[in-house]
């Protein structure tokens, strides 16, 4: 699995939180960071989009993290992840930068994923995604990390 994300994560609490979950993931999660682009909002989004889609590759199953995307609960996300991994195409998650994702990325994406309607800082989205991937993996393997306590 690959995570293509805009910006470089410095060492510190955000990186530690991401790595806490990322190191436990199987298959491994390869992080590909796209350097911040310069220019107008439209230019930044276009440059980001080109770099993101090139990093994912033409044959990948692309999942774009987007506030307006699909909102599965964690159990449903685990089911989706199982299906995506079993689909035979390289799986590539995508997180935009401060200016967000260009519409071309959403259009190219094979699936979208929302972490709720609130806007999260893009560096934090990496950690949230890594945690949900770990939770999904735990659900699929029957590991007690995920507790289904709601009635
Ligand atoms: C700071 S946000 C960009 C906000 C920007 N104004 C926009 O309209 O997209 C940076 C990236 O984090 C991700 N992101 C932020 N909040 C999210 C959420 N609630 N669900 C899914 N992805 C989110 C998206 O990939 C977004 O492109």
State the residue for tokens 């990390």.
145
* 65 CB within 6 A, ligand 1: yes
Does any domain span residue 148?
Answer: no
Q: Phi first, then psi: give them for residue 117, nearest 5 degrees.
A: -85, -10
Find the CATH number of the domain harbouring 127.
3.40.1280.10
Sheet of 111-113, strands arranged across: 30-34, 2-6, 91-95, 61-65, 111-113
Whether the predicted interface score ipTM is above 0.90:
yes
Range of the domain at 57: 2-141
27 part of a folded domain: yes
- Asked whether residue 149 is domain-assigned, the answer is no
Domain count, the chain: 1
For residue 45, say whether it is annotated as part of any ligand binding site: no
pLDDT of residue 151: 62
Structural domain contains residue 146: no
Evaluate whether residue 99 is within a structural domain. yes
pTM listed for this prediction: 0.96
Q: Is residue 122 part of a domain?
A: yes
Q: Is 75 inside any structural domain?
A: yes
Establish if 147 belongs to a structural domain.
no
Q: Is 33 in the pocket of ligand 1 (CB under 6 A)?
A: no
pLDDT-based confidence at 149, cuts 50/70/90?
low
In angstroms, the Cα distances linking 57 to 44, 60, 91, 120 are 20, 6, 10, 26
Does the Cβ of 114 fall within 6 Å of ligand 1? yes
Tell me, using a 6 A CB cutoff, whether residue 32 lines ligand 1. no
Render pLDDT for 34-71 as a digit per residue (tens, 0 to 9). 999 999 999 999 999 999 999 999 999 999 999 999 99
87 labelled binding-site residue? no
Give the Å distances, CA to CA, from 2 to 25, 30, 44, 61, 108. Answer: 11, 5, 22, 10, 16
The better pLDDT of the pair 94, 144 is held by 94
């Amino acid at each position: 699995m690959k995570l293509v994300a805009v910006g470089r994560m410095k060492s510190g609490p955000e990186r530690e939180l991401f790595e806490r979950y990322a190191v436990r993931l199987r298959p491994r999660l390869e992080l590909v960071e796209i350097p911040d682009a310069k220019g107008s909002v439209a230019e930044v989004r276009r440059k980001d989009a080109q770099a993101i889609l090139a990093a994912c590759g033409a044959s990948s199953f692309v999942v774009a993290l987007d506030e307006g995307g699909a909102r599965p609960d964690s159990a449903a996300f685990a089911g989706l992840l199982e299906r995506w991994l079993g689909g035979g195409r390289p799986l590539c998650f995508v997180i935009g930068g401060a200016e967000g994702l260009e519409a071309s990325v959403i259009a190219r994406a094979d699936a979208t994923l929302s972490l709720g309607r609130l806007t999260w800082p893009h560096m934090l989205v990496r950690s949230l995604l890594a945690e949900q991937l770990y939770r999904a993996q735990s659900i699929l393997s029957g590991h007690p990390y995920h507790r289904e306590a709601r009635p």
